[in-house]
Amino acid sequence: MKATLRERQAGPGKVSLYLDIYPPAPHPISGKMTRKYALGITVLTAPRTREERDAVKAARTLARAMQAKIELRLQAQDFGFLIRDQKAPLGDQMRRAAAEARTNGKQYLRCLQLIEARYGEGLSLQYLTPAVLADFRAYLLDNFSQNTASAYLTRLLRVLKSTWSQGMLKENPGASIKAIATERGEVVYLERHEIEALMKTECESQTLKRAFLLACETGLRISDIEALRREHFHATDSGPEIRIAQKKTGKTLTIPITAELLDYLELPESGPLFRGLKYRAYHGTLARWIADAGIHKKITFHKARHTCATQLIAADVGLATTQALLGHKSIASTLIYTHVFDAKKREAIEKKKIVK
């Protein structure tokens, strides 16, 4: 038996490599005779740069190595390598993961779109060989920011690991794929005087204004702000507080709030606190309100959470308490606000300096 390396068109300027097996090999499970065996490798037909030429050369070298190994297995009548073609739809697993995700479910769906756009629709899990995953990893890094690429690859690898643990894959093809590290960007937040300016500035939507200022005071995520209801507010001997199960982690978060903030929120007798609040519809409104307040920073709703954390640490609230108030699972998430410590160290040195 022989496996001939061939190629077929895989989009503009690209070909995918496959093996033409002759005579056809019987599938170990279904018995179906198989002749075409996709290697999961796509290369450029006309590489322009040195990097592209090196990548094509490396891909073709890998393809020839795979060809040689498979020919040896064919001669030994070992057709186990064909088991990966037993269809287990990738789309079904990605959509299931999206539906079960507490947050960021859409990232699974977007990742699936990217995979299907690059390799074709109706793919099986078994199609995602280490070679395909390595190619997809490189594609993500070439076309998206590092953090976005990291998010997509992480979700794909998570699905592969899950399906492998369920016995749907003979091996986990993602085990050898290196995760993409995330980059920690500059923490953007509002100073106290900027929050006061926002309070004094009119906003096109009072609902958005109250929701954003509540996030600045409590650090609640937009998903939890949207879910807030009258029954999440409780009166205690020490003062009012919010108790809500976080959408991201599922854990109940208890946040003390001031009586002044409670009055400002104007709680309804029952039901949603911010009826009809959908942040996607308020992007422009938020930006205009920020600009009208004379603030020249790129502020999104999530920056309210950064603002809360920064204000807590600046007020000498301990890391453990800040972690509990924000609902961080790990203290490492709280430590991203160490820029405040740097400022406080400078302030301390200035106060105690001997040489003046």
pLDDT tens for residues 33-44?
889 998 888 999
HSE of 311 in the Cβ direction (CA atoms, 13 Å)?
Answer: 20
In a domain, residue 181? The reply is: no
- Cα–Cα distance measured from residue 192 to residue 178, given in angstroms and rounded to the nearest whole number: 42
Is residue 283 situated within a structural domain? yes
Position 127 pLDDT exceeds 80:
yes
pLDDT per residue as tens digits for the range 185-208? 677 888 889 999 999 999 988 888
The string of pLDDT tens digits covering residues 297-343 is: 888 888 888 888 888 877 777 778 777 878 777 676 677 676 665 65
d(CA 322, CA 335): 10
**Which of 86-95, 104-113, 311-320 holds the top average pLDDT?**
104-113
User: Mean pLDDT across the stretch 16-24?
Assistant: 93
- Both 203 and 315 in one domain: the answer is yes
User: Do residues 210 and 331 both lie within one domain?
Assistant: yes
Amino acid at 318: G
* Residue 186 within any structural domain of the chain: no
CB 233 within 8 A of CB 270: no
**How many domains, the chain?**
3
- Quote the domain boundaries for residue 200: 192-351
**Averaged over 69-81, what is the pLDDT?**
87
pLDDT of residue 163: 86
Q: At 104, is the secondary structure helix, strand, or coil?
A: coil
In a domain, 59, yes or no: yes
Dump pLDDT digits (tens) for 238-296. Answer: 899 999 988 877 888 899 998 999 999 888 888 999 887 776 556 788 889 999 999 99
Among 55, 71, 86, identify where a domain stops. Answer: 86
Residues 286 and 220 in one domain: yes
Helices (H), the chain: 50-75, 90-100, 105-119, 130-143, 146-165, 192-200, 206-218, 222-227, 259-265, 283-292, 302-314, 319-326, 331-334, 339-352
- Predicted local distance difference test score (pLDDT) of residue 87: 65
In this prediction, residue 340 carries a pLDDT of 60
Do 244 and 326 fall within a single domain? yes
- Those residues whose C-beta lies under 8 Å from the C-beta of residue 199, and which sit 6 or more positions away, are 213
**Do 121 and 230 belong to one domain?**
no
Q: Are β-strands 14-26 and 2-9 bridged in parallel, bridged antiparallel, or unpaired?
A: antiparallel
Are 212 and 233 found together in one domain? Answer: yes
Q: Sheet containing 33-44: give its strands across.
A: 2-9, 14-26, 33-44
pLDDT of residue 78: 83
Dihedral of the alpha carbons of 241, 234, 216, 209, in degrees to the nearest 10: -160
Residues 224 and 306 both lie in one domain? yes
Query: Are the C-beta atoms of 3 and 70 separated by less than 8 Å?
Result: yes
DSSP-derived pairing of the beta strands 252-256 and 239-245:
antiparallel
- Do 161 and 47 lie in one domain? The reply is no
Judged against a pLDDT cut of 90, whether residue 4 lies above it is answered with: yes
Percent of the chain with pLDDT over 70: 88
Closest alpha carbon to 293 in 191, 187, 219 = 191
